[in-house]
Structure 1
Amino acid sequence: MPDDGKVTLNRRTIFSALAIGGVGALGVGGFLATENRIGPHRLTARAIIDRFQNTAGVFPGFRRNHAKGLAIEGYFESNGTGTELSRASVFEPGRYPVRGRFSLSGGNPHVADDSSVVRGLALRIDLPNSEQWRLATINLPVFLDPTPQDFYDRMLAFAADPATGKPDADRKSHYLATHPRTAAAMAITKTEPVAPTFASSTFRGLNAFEFTDTTGRTIPVRWTLIPETTATPAPGRGPDYLFDQLKMDIRAAPCRWALTIVVGVPGTDRTDDATVAWPDSRRTVTVGTLVLTGIATATADSVRETNFDPLVLPDGIAPSDDPLLAARSAAYAESFRRRSGEGDGRGAIEAGGAA
């Protein structure tokens, strides 16, 4: 998927300008996908976002997925170790400002918190020379779908029946029987205990990417944010208990995660299928620490206008051949396009903190 030489720089420049302005897409290709001109079986970003809306309803001004959330700020402290793996400026020793957002999956920003719902942590790391690194991570060990079409189909198969409020059991069973990779991925997710709080959750960027060092050597990687914060959940469970706890944790002391890079073996580890876990024996390198220090309305206002497109990358980091990456980029852009004309999406958690 990545290009090299002058072509990479030109596409990166065009893409970054679009994405930072809130219209992220995988260059021209991602934009065309939103217009129903490319993509397997004519699957488009518009169709994906329509499916989110059909499943959860429409809440004007909010993201179509991970609608309920809380904006945060802090910094990434790079220890310099990552320069061995990539020439990206983020790995040079130093401290880089971070703005981001914790969230729960789903399109309803007013739904009650549920520990079984997938948690997200999206980050925007601001770097020298106007570069950014945007990360979209979740608290699962693997993704549940190998392709955009599978993701789209699963949303329908697992959608709640209006009559019961629950997915149809026969429809789910049939889907899993005919999609063994999703069934296997779900089995893997059940083996990992769910952390009691956001601050004690492990977050992963499940798609593979490529790092390129100063010599031009390229390696496949994935990354994980490993919590250094002890879980101390308060008693009581109101409708926003996970976010209430998060506010208390961050206000009590900075919350910290070690950013660990998992180095894949070229030609051996799958880079095109996020349902497949890489072996535990793979080399890992801790490249720095994410430190989240506060919650602020000004940060929320900025984050509301941020499209956490995982393909906004600094030089030295590039997408792999995972087909989900282009689909996510285009779908995030379509979600932004819709919500940006609907209002500010305030009020799900606190003024300025939801969108």
Structure 2
Amino acid sequence: MSQPTPANPPPRKRSPVPALLGIAAIVAAIAGAFAWVGGWFGERLTPQRMTDTIEAGKPHPGYRRAHTKGVCVAGTFAPSAQAPGLSKARVFTQASTPILGRLSIGGGDPHGADAQARVRSVALLLKTDDGQEWRMAMNSFPFFVVATPEAFQAQNIASAPDPATGKPDPARMAAFLEQYPEAKKFLAWAKSAPWSNSWANTQFNGVNSFWFTDAQGQRRAVRWSLRPQAPFEALSEAQRKQSDADFLSEEFDARLAKTGPVKWDLVVTEAKDGDPIDDPSQPWPQDRPQVVAGTVSFTATSPQATGGCRDINYDPTVVPDGIEPSKDPILAARSAVYSVSFNRRQHEIGAGQAPEATGAAKGEAK
């Protein structure tokens, strides 16, 4: 099947558009997390093709294609007394559930500098005593850049580096924002929101919606977040310039050694009638009901090349009885490309191309 042919870009503008280039860089850091098996521009685009685009001819064998740098984490989830009223999922009724997770940064460089990554992420695998699994993938941004896979593909095309300059074409980005103005909210967040100085005090958000079903059969649309128990501390621009390339993992290990487990509250937000259930680019109003469903505790880290997270595909559509995905098309998109990326990575690892567990090569993600 032939590759889809993008529409001709608009003529290049002479004046630079720094803000548009900023969004290109930020969104490109998370571009590897999404694909779709539907049609773009009238032609069918497979997850394999999308993964090829993500790799851009420069794959890092043995590493994840997106959120490439990270560390494995181990810990537990303990439900709150209110959790069983939200969903009949076993994870909300057993006393404690083990976690195999991963902390990471955005981008596709396994040796990227932590302080230059605007997006930070966490992935979790909870496996209950009856063998059911709940896999989650959350990010530090509060909503997604666009609403559909088609729009995200348009962004990927617009943010592709110009061969002449090695940077995105400002005219293409301007045309993208004109066609998909919802992306401007993400740009505003990226420019204004403070950077945290630790994974431990970062709030991670599940921007996609799911449905919870309780023991009485009542269904409710929800989104969830991990709200840190550690107080937020900002990372200044000067600190970003001076920080060690691996400062996030180094700081997290030092924190564990000094104070013990690092904890987040799992906060579940319930939608009300009229809220956009299937649009991850639209945040819900701040006054929506919230329930602390339990506590996530991380107790140890290990290199991703040898740790328990290495061979896990953190597909967010893998959920237990009592939880089901919404019809948000981004969820299906993530599942499709995660599968392709995982299979390629496992083949490379099996062929002896696994990443080294040294230095800045401690990471993978999603």
TM-score above 0.5: yes
Aligned-residue offset at 1:302: 2.4
Of 300, 316, 328, 2:334 maps to 328
The answer to whether the 8 A contact 1:87-1:214 is kept is yes
Inter-partner Cα distance in structure 1 for 2:192 and 2:95: 37
Which residue among 256, 259, 262 is the counterpart of 2:266?
259
After TM superposition, list the pairs within 5 Å mapping 1:1-355 onto structure 2: 39=39, 41-54=43-56, 57-230=58-231, 237-252=243-258, 253-265=260-272, 267-296=273-302, 300-343=306-349, 344-347=354-357, 349=359, 354=364
What amino acid does structure 1 have at the position aligned with 2:186? A
RMSD: 2.4
Deviation of 1:129 (Å): 1.0
Rounded Cα–Cα distance in structure 1 between residues aligned with 2:231 and 2:305: 25
Are 1:251 and 1:294, in contact at CA under 8 Å, matched by a contact in 2?
Answer: no
Note closer, same or farther for the CA distance 1:313–1:51 as it changes in structure 2 (3 Å cut): same
Q: Distance in 1 between matches of 2:320 and 2:361?
A: 32
CA distance in structure 2 between the aligned counterparts of 1:185 and 1:283, rounded to whole angstroms: 24
Which runs of 5 or more structure 1 residues have no equivalent in the other structure?
1-32
- Deviation of 1:126 after TM superposition, in Å, equals 1.4
Shift of 1:281: 0.4
**Partners of 1:160 and 1:244 in 2: CA distance:** 32
Displacement after TM superposition at 1:98 (Å): 0.5
Q: CA deviation at 1:324?
A: 0.5
Residue identity (%): 36
The separation in 2 between residues aligned to 1:70 and 1:90, in whole angstroms, is: 24
Contact 2:106 2:117 in 1 (8 A): no
Counterpart in 1 of 2:29?
none
Residue deviations 1:244-263 (CA, integer Å, cap 9, x gap): 22222233221111100000
| Structure 1 residue 231, shift from structure 2 partner | 5.3
For the residues of structure 1 that align with 2:310 and 2:265, how far apart are their CA atoms?
Answer: 26
Structure 2: 5+ residue runs without aligned partners?
1-34
- The answer to whether the 8 Å contact 1:346/1:353 transfers is no
Tell me the CA shift for residue 44 of structure 1.
2.1
Structure 2 distance, partners of 1:137, 1:298, is 18
Structure 2 vs 1, CA of residues 174 and 292 (structure 1 numbering), >3 Å: closer, same or farther? same
Q: How many residues align?
A: 319
Deviation string 1:133-168 (CA, Å, 9 cap, x unpaired) is 110000001011211122222122123335444322
Find the aligned partners of 2:116 and 2:361 in 1 and give their Cα distance: 23
Q: In 2, are the aligned partners of 1:141 and 1:192 still within 8 Å (CA)? A: no
The 1:171–1:331 alpha-carbon spacing in structure 2 relative to 1, beyond 3 Å, is: same
**TM-score, normalization: structure 2?**
0.80
38-47 or 101-110: bigger deviation: 38-47
Provide the rounded CA distance (Å) in 2 between the counterparts of 1:47 and 1:341.
17
Separation in 2, partners of 1:299, 1:67: 11
